[in-house]
Amino acid sequence: MIDSIVTRIKATLGNPFRTVEGAAEYSALQAPPPAARCPAAYVIELADDAGQNSLATSAVRQRITETFAVVMIVASLRDHRGEAAQALLQPVRAFCVQALIGWAPDANHDAITYLRGRLVDASEGYVVWQAEFQVRSTLRSV
């Protein structure tokens, strides 16, 4: 599913990101990416939660809620206080939300919904924002 989301962000008209990658690339970062690669977006799985089994037999049918994040990094290295980077962040956040909400990553998933966002870091000209989304699917036993 994460690959589908990365592809969706990259392919959406007006994509402002210079870098769109997954969790492996994000976890490999030792520092913010070079400013030339920003704005950057990293799509990361965060959690999944299963509802109760809705069948009374030995079969299983559960609703699964998957939570993922898009970590967005913007840079304005001339502004160490981060005010310019904060201004750059607003349209990037809006693009990301509009590109994903209401879209289903595949036939097994419902439409994506927005959950919440939060500031992760703001220092030395970089601002990092994490937008969290949810998508539901159904798990069935064979």
pLDDT tens for residues 25-49?
998 988 888 888 999 999 999 999 9
Instruction: Tell which wins on pLDDT, 68 or 81.
Output: 68
Nearest Cα neighbor of 9 from 33, 41, 44 is 41
Give the other-Cβ count within 10 Å of 90's Cβ. Answer: 11
How many structural domains is the chain composed of? 1
Q: What DSSP character marks residue 127?
A: E
Residue 133 zone, left/alpha/beta (φ > 0; ψ -120 to 50; rest): beta
**How far is Cα 38 from Cα 24, in angstroms, rounded to an integer?**
17
Question: How much is the pTM?
Answer: 0.89
List C-alpha distances in Å: 129 to 101, 105, 137: 17, 22, 26
Q: Are 66 and 137 in contact (CB under 8 A)?
A: yes
Report the chain's mean pLDDT, rounded to a whole number: 89
Range with the poorest average pLDDT among 2-11, 38-47, 116-125 = 116-125
Residue numbers of the domain that contains 102: 2-140
pLDDT at residue 59, as a whole number: 78
- What does the pLDDT average to over 1-12? 95
pLDDT at residue 54, as a whole number: 67
pLDDT at residue 15, as a whole number: 96
What is the CATH number for 110?
Answer: 3.30.2000.10
